[in-house]
Amino acid sequence: MHNPVFRKKPLLLAMAAAWVSFAPAIQASIGTEISTAEGQSSFIGAFDTVTITSTGSVVSPTGNALSFQSVDMGTFTNNGTIMSSGSNYNDSGMYIDDSSSVDMFFNNSYLAGNSGTIGPYGLYNRGTIGTLENSVNGTITSNVALNNSGTITSLINQGTIQGPNSGVISWGTITDFTNNGLIDGAYAVQNAGTMTNGITNNGTLRGIDAAIYNIGALSVINNNGTLAGNIWNNTSNPLTINGGSSYDSLMTGYNSGGRVYSSGADLHFGTGKLTVDDDFQMGTHSVINDGASLLLNRTVTINGNYLQQEQGELAIGVADGAVANGSALDSGYGRLVVTGDAIFAAHSSVSLLTTGQSYGFANGQRFLVVQASGSGTQYNENALAYHVAGYNGTVTGKAVTINGTNSLVIYLDAQDPTTPTTPTAPTEPTTPTTPTTPTTPTTPVVTPNPVFATTPNAIASLRGLGNYSGFSEGLLNLYNASMAIGSREEANRAGEQLSPVQNSAASSTAAAASSGALAVVNNHMNSTRLARNGSQSGIATGDDALDWAVWGQPFYGSARQGMIDNVSGYTAHYGGVVLGADRQIADDWRVGGAFSYARSSVNGRDNLTGSHTDVDAWSGIAYASWSGNPLYVNLTASVSTQKYDSQRRIGFDGFAGQADGSFNGQQVMTKAEVGYPIFFAQGTTLTPLAAVSYSYLHQDDYKEHSDQGAALKVDSSHTQSVRSSLGAKLEHSWSTGIGDVVPFVQAMWTHEYDRSRTATSASYVADTLGETRFTSFGATPVSDTADIGAGVALVQNDDLSLSARYDLSTAPHFDAQTVSLRLRKSF
């Protein structure tokens, strides 16, 4: 960093005291004009006007080019050249001693000190100047362009004041300081004296080390231009910076963002608009916004405190392509970071502005605008005035904690459009006056509603997602993508994919597999009875009444359901095996037990295409059969435990992901069947049938896993079923060389009494507050099904039997099929 020149003041004063003018003296005159080239010159006495014309010059290879000694001058005008062309450290372009005064000083051309880098000045004033104006075409330059140790009532720069070290240094007093041009140097302006009315900058103050360096009395900077460089206030006196009429008023660094140093006093922003591209080093002091509008287009840090008064405004610039999730990882817009306390007075303002060409504010966006580490932070978020350029929805602010900081987040929420009032029909004119044809009222333009889902499950899940106010990156990405859905079809598809509704299909399939196992047991009891009643049906089995029988039967089934109640359908396949053993305990009772294992695979259809659930089920089954003459009753009961592995696919414009879940379930099922065989000649039997069954299935709660933020925390759920069946079975037996062959057909009508839809509640795993909680419903169970079965049994005299069976259940939008093969051995 360059050292400010005024830090060498004792040396400079010594040098100034040692200066001696060896130039010829120009005595007092009413009007003096220099129109030719002159050498080193000095003025002594009183002068009305002195003018160096455009053809005139005062150029000296040594010493000061032009000196005023004990001069009392009305107006001095330079239209030519004043320059010290040497390289001595004390050679200035122009020197005004402490006994001189100039009412009006106009530099319209070139005023320069020598080319040295130590000491020389373009203009060195130790006297009194009323008005010093450097015009648009004027240049004052040297190592230090302007050094003031005297008094200047009004300093006006329209042109260029430039020096490698400093543009302006003031040890004395400058009452009014206005810059409309360029002041440039390592330090644009240094003040160790008094700037009574501060600095008004309408041009550019630019410094590599500092635009303004103050150790004197400077209370205000009115900036309607550009402050390009650091700002130092190394005093214990507060400094106020005012803005201009637009955000073209800029505080920035020499090439990019700069810094403001004021560790000894508060810094105030008073009025006007300012674009702030500086960070602030405030120590224990504060940046206080009394009534200015401060625009931040990047993250600006205040090492200290920030206080915004009621008339103050914090404006956040949002660029094209900004990422607005309300997260610390956001990009493309401004933010205020405060290491201490941030305090916003009630009714002060926070605004969002676009700085690019194409960015549009939209529902669901969130902007993290302030982060403060201090425990005394108070945003008064419910009492702030929020403004978002070009956005007509609802804007709210929330104080939240992000990464341990107290943060202010702005939320853009949807606003329902107002339905315009239908114009009043024109009044019919009174007869007999010929009525004027009334003007047809203009059809009001109704603002279209945002795109919303129309199916209940999609509405519920998207509404739950829309309630999220947290800052999980994955869930926010999902949230933002959902807000950009462009059609009802896509909204319905995405909404259903975001729900756990596929669990209802999995539970239905698991129940079907358990029901299939019970059907296998029931059919086994009927086949056993067939063998025992062989004398009546033409079969001789030789079974002993107390024989044990062991048996096994594999089974396989499939089911398919279409869309019902706007709930997507599914296809399912299941297969398993039942192993059992039973014994006759009396002439009319046979009891037994069985174990079954079944695996089901469920694939989503329609909106849920790509989603998949596997279910493993283990069941223990108890059964008993009572045989009358000829009435019989079959009783079965099972208890099952199930393991579900789900894979939920989500895919729509702007988002693609997968959520995996693993959870358990339990099921209890009972069934009773009554049959009344009617025997006909030649081995034909017709059996009217009636049955009733009950099932209760419970699924445990669980959490999904997802790398994309779509994971759900799903509550436990349950479903139950109460069914009755009526029908008949027709069978006929033939004796063959390999045994008795008994084909059969069966038809039943089954009615479901409990048609309650499965309700499943869930929220997103990343939502720690439960804001996203919603409930989805499965499809209404089928009311009535037609159940048709057909099969054949082979019974041999050596107590070995084999049977095969096919069953079909069908209803509107639903069908299921099961095939089974049974092997039984008595011993």
Separation CA 145–CA 13 (nearest Å): 17
CA–CA distances in Å: residue 560 to residues 201, 564, 644, 786, 817: 79, 12, 19, 15, 9
Separation CA 442–CA 349 (nearest Å): 39
Separation CA 251–CA 596 (nearest Å): 79
Residue 309 CB coordination number (10 Å): 17
Which among 613, 586, 618 is positioned nearest to 602, based on CA atoms? Answer: 613
Separation CA 73–CA 94 (nearest Å): 15
Which among 606, 649, 652 is positioned nearest to 487, based on CA atoms? Answer: 652
In one-letter notation, the amino acid at residue 805 is: R
Q: In b/e form, how buried is each residue of 652-688, taking b as 16+ CB within 10 angstroms?
A: beebebbbebebebebebebebebebeeeeebebebe
Which among 798, 791, 789, 797 is positioned nearest to 822, based on CA atoms? Answer: 791
Separation CA 348–CA 380 (nearest Å): 9
Q: What is the pLDDT of residue 539?
A: 34
Separation CA 163–CA 185 (nearest Å): 5
**Helix or strand run (H / E) with residue 459:** helix 456-466
**Helix or strand run (H / E) with residue 511:** helix 502-532
Looking up tokens 């880098």 gives: 117
Tell me if 111 sits within 8 A of 91, measured CB to CB: no
Burial class of residue 317, CB neighbours in 10 A (0-12, 13-18, 19+): buried
Separation CA 143–CA 638 (nearest Å): 100
Listed by start position, the domains of the chain span: 219-414, 496-725+750-785
Tokens coding 593: 């037990």
350 phi and psi, to 5 degrees? -135, 130
CB within 8 Å of 644: residues ≥ 6 apart: 503, 506, 510, 613, 614, 615, 661, 662, 663, 664, 665, 699
Q: What is the pLDDT of residue 356?
A: 87
Q: What is the pLDDT of residue 540?
A: 31
Tokens coding 619: 């069941």
Separation CA 49–CA 47 (nearest Å): 6
| pTM (global) more than 0.85 | no
Q: What is the pLDDT of residue 799?
A: 67
CA–CA distances in Å: residue 78 to residues 49, 411, 530, 772: 11, 61, 131, 76
Beta bridge partners of 790: 745, 806
Tell me if 251 sits within 8 A of 231, measured CB to CB: yes
Tell me if 657 sits within 8 A of 479, measured CB to CB: no
Collect contacts of 132-137 with beta carbons under 8 A, ≥24 apart: 132/105, 132/107, 132/156, 133/104, 133/105, 133/106, 133/107, 133/157, 133/158, 134/107, 134/158, 134/159, 134/160, 134/161, 134/181, 135/106, 135/107, 135/108, 135/159, 136/181, 137/108, 137/109
Tell me if 169 sits within 8 A of 6, measured CB to CB: yes
Burial class of residue 301, CB neighbours in 10 A (0-12, 13-18, 19+): middle
16 phi and psi, to 5 degrees? -65, -40
Separation CA 548–CA 584 (nearest Å): 7
Tell me if 196 sits within 8 A of 176, measured CB to CB: yes
512 phi and psi, to 5 degrees? -65, -40
Parallel, antiparallel, or unpaired: how do β-strands 739-752 and 734-736 relate? Answer: antiparallel
Q: What is the mean pLDDT for each group of 10 consecutive residues in the chain (827 residues)?
A: 37 28 41 66 91 91 89 96 79 93 98 72 96 98 95 98 96 98 97 98 97 98 98 97 97 93 97 98 97 97 97 96 83 95 97 89 90 96 95 92 89 57 48 49 40 85 87 83 86 94 89 88 81 43 58 91 92 94 88 95 94 96 92 96 96 90 96 93 89 96 92 95 95 83 93 93 92 93 93 74 87 89 67
Q: What is the pLDDT of residue 795?
A: 76
Which among 128, 157, 155 is positioned nearest to 140, based on CA atoms? Answer: 157
Task: Write the CATH number of the domain with boundaries 496-725+750-785.
Answer: 2.40.128.130
User: How many Cα atoms are found within 13 Å in the side-chain-facing hemisphere of 162?
Assistant: 13
CA–CA distances in Å: residue 427 to residues 433, 441, 700, 720: 13, 12, 68, 64
**Helix or strand run (H / E) with residue 45:** strand 41-52
Alpha-carbon Rg for the chain, nearest whole angstrom, is 47
**Helix or strand run (H / E) with residue 508:** helix 502-532
Separation CA 744–CA 280 (nearest Å): 92
Separation CA 165–CA 113 (nearest Å): 13
Separation CA 126–CA 16 (nearest Å): 10
In residues, how long is the chain? 827
Q: Edge-to-edge strands of the sheet including 759-764?
A: 702-703, 712-714, 759-764, 774-777
Separation CA 169–CA 594 (nearest Å): 103
Separation CA 268–CA 291 (nearest Å): 9
Separation CA 147–CA 193 (nearest Å): 11
DSSP state of 705: B
540 phi and psi, to 5 degrees? -110, 110
Separation CA 183–CA 189 (nearest Å): 8
Strand ranges in 81-203 using DSSP code E only, listed in sequence order: 81-84, 94-96, 101-107, 110-112, 121-125, 128-134, 139-141, 144-148, 151-157, 160-170, 173-179, 182-191, 194-195, 199-201
Separation CA 53–CA 36 (nearest Å): 8
Looking up tokens 């999980």 gives: 472
